[in-house]
Amino acid sequence: MGGQPKLQTAIGPHVQNEAIPDVRSAPEQRVRLSRSDKTRFEGQAHHRSAVSDQVAAVQARNCELAIEVEQLRGERRRLERDLHDGVQSELVALMVELALVQQDPDTPPGLAGMLAGLEARTQATLDSVRNVVGGIFPPLLADFGVQAALRARAARAPTAVSVRGTVPRSTEEAEEAVYFACSEAIQNVAKHAGRQAQVTLRLHHDRGSLAVRIEDDGSGFDRVHTPEGTGLRNIRDRIQHLGGTVEVTSTPGHGTVLIIFLRWPPRADR
């Protein structure tokens, strides 16, 4: 007991009156920290759960959209078959009958002339139906790919079109975008450069990418003072939708060059 004054003297008078922490309060502090951590962790877990639910909902919606797209493609192909096997066949049969009646020696000349007019109108209707069918999705494109489909498109063009280069098969979406973009470009040349213009369409495939160069020797135009038309906007929309690019260069009197560039993923085996 007599040692107590010595302890006070050793500690010193300047700290004798200070409060000494009670170590017994430490467990309570640890409990409070644990509760705080638990609340924070529960909040993080709730956030992760909410994010997971959102991801699952997006994935489910993507699956639904994929099914809907496949259904639409099936409907499109059914429409193609109906137009090809039904309407086109009927129009062709009608044209044959009209031609036979005209060739019949018993047909009066006046009636033969009327039948010739009907045959011409039937041919125009048949051409329109074929354009509609081709605009939906050309059979050549589905069966043989972009190169074959563009060669057939070039043969029907009102201007001289040369298709060069080769390209492997790709996804239906990529092939469709390139085919219709090139068809739009050919149509633009015929509309703006004139029927005397010549077009060269080059396809170049390299390491998963496709470059298409469409060049004509028409009159060209001043891009600074010429607003972009609907045809070019349609081309941009199709290609940029797949992450590709479209470049146009033109000079009055020196023709126009349109370059399309996009990824060209390999076609999945069916």
**pLDDT tens-digit series, residues 211-260:** 999 999 988 888 777 887 888 888 999 999 999 999 999 988 889 999 99
Distance CA 133, CA 88 (A): 10
pLDDT score of 248: 94
pLDDT at position 8 over 50: no
pLDDT, residue 7, reads 44
**Mean pLDDT, range 111-131, rounded to an integer:** 81
43-47, 116-120, 128-132: least confident range? 128-132
Spell out a b/e string for 29-60, using b for 16 or more CB atoms within 10 Å of the CB, else e. Answer: eeeeeeeeeeeeeeeeeeeeeeeeeeeeeeee
Q: d(Cα 195, Cα 253) in Å, to the nearest integer? A: 16
More confident residue, 13 or 36: 36
Q: What is the mean pLDDT of the chain?
A: 80
**Residue 188 scores a pLDDT above 80:** yes
Q: Are 138 and 83 in contact (CB under 8 A)?
A: no
What single string gives the DSSP state of each residue in 89-142? HHHHHHHHHHHHHHH-TTS-HHHHHHHHHHHHHHHHHHHHHHHHHHHH--HHHH
pLDDT at 197: 87
Residue 91 CA, chain-centre distance (Å), reads: 34
Half-sphere exposure of 6 (CA within 13 A, CB side): 3
Among 42-56, 140-154, 208-222, the minimum mean pLDDT is found in 42-56
Most confident of 8-17, 176-185, 223-232: 176-185
The pLDDT-based confidence of 11 (bands split at 50, 70, 90) is very low
Per-residue model confidence (pLDDT) at position 192: 80
Residue 169, pLDDT score: 95
* pLDDT tier for residue 203 given thresholds of 50, 70 and 90: very high
